[in-house]
Chain A
Amino acid sequence: MNPKKTELLHQQYLKGLSRERKIVRLYQLLIFIAFFASWETSSQQKWIDPLLFSSPSKIWNLLIEKTMDGSLAVHIGVTLAETVLGFILGTLVGTVLAALLWWSPMLSKILDPYLVVLNSMPKVALGPILIVALGTNLSSIVAMGAIISVIITTIVVYTAFKEVDPNYLKVLQTFGATRTQSFREAILPASFPTIISTLKVNVGLSWVGVIVGEFLVSARGLGYMIIYGFQVFNFTLVFLSLFVIAVFATVMYQLVELLEKKLIKNNQ
């Protein structure tokens, strides 16, 4: 085939790709508009109870109002700080626990049933106890955000540590590497992809922990806004909080994905 023809086919292929992308975007936008338009109309026309289901315009106005008086920023700041802290703490403690289990096979055998029990237990049920133990403040909410992801992180990362090809360890052992060196040179870097993917799961989990924690403590934050809105029957406030949570949780997830791309650029 002559190169001109190949060139032409390639152009066509690229055009096809971009057309497909445009169609996907168009439909995504259509769904978005249709959803909010029908919500707004049905609320205006009282097809649904505007008191319960609010409407996009009311939510938007509330957003402007709350942004102007600065109260929204405070709530977002609190929740975001708690979530990020809980997320980092959960992932870090989980990874350190996994490292301990890898370090001592005996310890991992002993702790195995406890991990299974703790993992199957719904962690949010521990909320009241955490609040009693740590007080109705930031620390108990951060603890909720962390505790919800720590056990699953431990289990997943430990499994990844165990699955590292033993021949990498053999290479290191022939150089007389200690267990610490083996961990640093082979086990940890080989498990980075798994650790990053648990990060993605933990973003979602930490949000759950923190919001439930704020439900219980009811002082500040987006979870507080939801529970307060519910109690005074202001569902516009509830919906506003939900949207803000959706936006920030997505941003956090995207940031982790960005981190993943940076870290695993040259591997595998």
Chain B
Amino acid sequence: MDFLTLRGIHHTYFTKTSAVTALNDISLDVQEGEFVSFLGPSGCGKTTLLSIIAGLLDPTYGQVKLEGKSVKEAADKTGYMLQQDYLFPWKTIEENILLGLKVSKTLDDTKKKEVLSLLRQMGLENVESLYPKQLSGGMRQRVALVRTLATEPKLLMLDEPFSALDYQTKLKLEDLVSNTFKTFGKTAILVTHDIGEAIAMSDRIFLFSPSPGRLHKTFTIPEELRNLTPFNARNHSLYNELFKKIWKELESIEPEEN
């Protein structure tokens, strides 16, 4: 059985003056433990689709099932990471990473120890009692990752989580995230408009075309690249080949922009 299934997802945003269709007939499956990317130009409804999968938004039509259950019922199995870290500035790092457990009322001493040790595994020592503004951007995004992982979600959704970081930090975090997810056997969906990031991190790439958002093409990343860390994958010859292929495909779906 598929882990995550999307069937015939349509979504239309209504305003007083217009009805804008953001997503048109999206159907796809994701296997357990897989890392997939939603790639596409802006306006192709990637973030809308991610919100629908996260159960934050109800699709106009269509069904999303996670392990056979609707995503609303399976809310505790999903985790969501935003573009910026959105750590709560009035909470300490410890309070921030325990937030999910506190909200779901599953916080106990064992869980707390686990989460704090996860923080150390991410290379963050002695930051528990600090406030977010005292950390650098990269550190904050790592804290946000710990916060997302703390509730032990099976499916992780990453909405351009590296886009606000500088290039070096971004490459390091890609490796860290990729490693962590492989170790814990997490399923993940990454939304991005960065072709390189999608190739380096994923097992499969779903390419979307804009207005209205449709699934344009699916790319399967070759085994050789998948087994490499994102940083090493970027240096592989297959990476460049694939990059060109996807680049051409992207050019073909947005000709009016040139």
Interface residues of A (CB under 8 A from B): 165, 167-168, 170-177, 181, 185-186, 189-190, 192, 266-268
Cβ B131 vs Cβ A266 within 8 A? yes
Cβ A170 vs Cβ B56 within 8 A? yes
Cβ B82 vs Cβ A192 within 8 A? no
Collect the chain B residues with CB atoms within 8 Å of residue A268's CB: 89, 133
- Distance to closest chain B CB from A179 (angstroms): 12
In angstroms, Cα B80 to Cα A173, docked, is 10
- Distance to closest chain B CB from A161 (angstroms): 15
Q: Does B104 contact A (CB under 8 A)?
A: yes
- Distance to closest chain A CB from B57 (angstroms): 10
Collect the chain B residues with CB atoms within 8 Å of residue A177's CB: 103
- Judged by DSSP, the binding face of B is loop
Cβ B88 vs Cβ A176 within 8 A? no
**When A176-B76, A177-B103, A181-B103 are in contact, do A171 and B82 touch as well, CB less than 8 Å?**
yes
In angstroms, Cα B82 to Cα A175, docked, is 13
With both beta carbons as reference points, the residue of chain A lying nearest to B78 in the complex is identified as A174
Cβ A185 vs Cβ B99 within 8 A? yes
Collect the chain A residues with CB atoms within 8 Å of residue B210's CB: none
Contact of A175 among B84, B89, B100, B131 (CB under 8 A): B100
**When A167-B82, A181-B103, A189-B90 are in contact, do A174 and B131 touch as well, CB less than 8 Å?**
no
Q: Mark B68-87, 1 if CB is under 8 A from A, else 0.
A: 00000001101110101010
Collect the chain A residues with CB atoms within 8 Å of residue B104's CB: 175-176
In angstroms, Cα B91 to Cα A171, docked, is 14
Interface residues of B (CB under 8 A from A): 54, 56, 75-76, 78-80, 82, 84, 86, 88-91, 99-100, 102-104, 131, 133, 151
In angstroms, Cα B56 to Cα A267, docked, is 28
**When A189-B88, A267-B90 are in contact, do A170 and B82 touch as well, CB less than 8 Å?**
yes
Cβ A266 vs Cβ B90 within 8 A? yes
Cβ B103 vs Cβ A175 within 8 A? yes
In angstroms, Cα B132 to Cα A171, docked, is 15
Collect the chain B residues with CB atoms within 8 Å of residue A174's CB: 54, 56, 75, 78-80
- Judged by DSSP, the binding face of A is helix
Collect the chain B residues with CB atoms within 8 Å of residue A165's CB: 86
**When A181-B103, A267-B89 are in contact, do A175 and B151 touch as well, CB less than 8 Å?**
yes
With both beta carbons as reference points, the residue of chain A lying nearest to B100 in the complex is identified as A175
Contact of A173 among B56, B131, B133 (CB under 8 A): B56
Residue among A175, A181, A186 with most chain B CB within 10 A: A175
Report 14 cross-chain contacts, Cβ distance below 8 Å, ordered by A residue: A167-B82, A170-B56, A170-B80, A171-B80, A171-B86, A172-B99, A174-B54, A174-B56, A174-B79, A175-B103, A176-B76, A177-B103, A185-B99, A192-B90
Collect the chain B residues with CB atoms within 8 Å of residue A172's CB: 99, 103
Collect the chain B residues with CB atoms within 8 Å of residue A192's CB: 90
Contact of B86 among A167, A181, A266, A267 (CB under 8 A): A167
In angstroms, Cα B64 to Cα A220, docked, is 70
- Distance to closest chain A CB from B135 (angstroms): 13
Cβ A186 vs Cβ B103 within 8 A? no
Cβ A185 vs Cβ B131 within 8 A? no
Cβ B90 vs Cβ A167 within 8 A? no
With both beta carbons as reference points, the residue of chain B lying nearest to A188 in the complex is identified as B90
Collect the chain B residues with CB atoms within 8 Å of residue A170's CB: 56, 80, 82, 86
Collect the chain A residues with CB atoms within 8 Å of residue B91's CB: 189
Cβ B99 vs Cβ A175 within 8 A? yes
Cβ A176 vs Cβ B90 within 8 A? no
Collect the chain A residues with CB atoms within 8 Å of residue B100's CB: 175
**When A172-B103, A175-B99, A175-B151 are in contact, do A186 and B88 touch as well, CB less than 8 Å?**
yes
Residue among B102, B103, B131, B133 with most chain A CB within 10 A: B103
- Distance to closest chain A CB from B151 (angstroms): 6
- Distance to closest chain A CB from B128 (angstroms): 14
Collect the chain A residues with CB atoms within 8 Å of residue B89's CB: 267-268
**When A174-B54, A174-B56, A266-B131 are in contact, do A168 and B76 touch as well, CB less than 8 Å?**
no
Give 6 closest A-B pairs by Cβ, nearest first. A174-B80, A175-B100, A175-B103, A176-B75, A189-B90, A177-B103
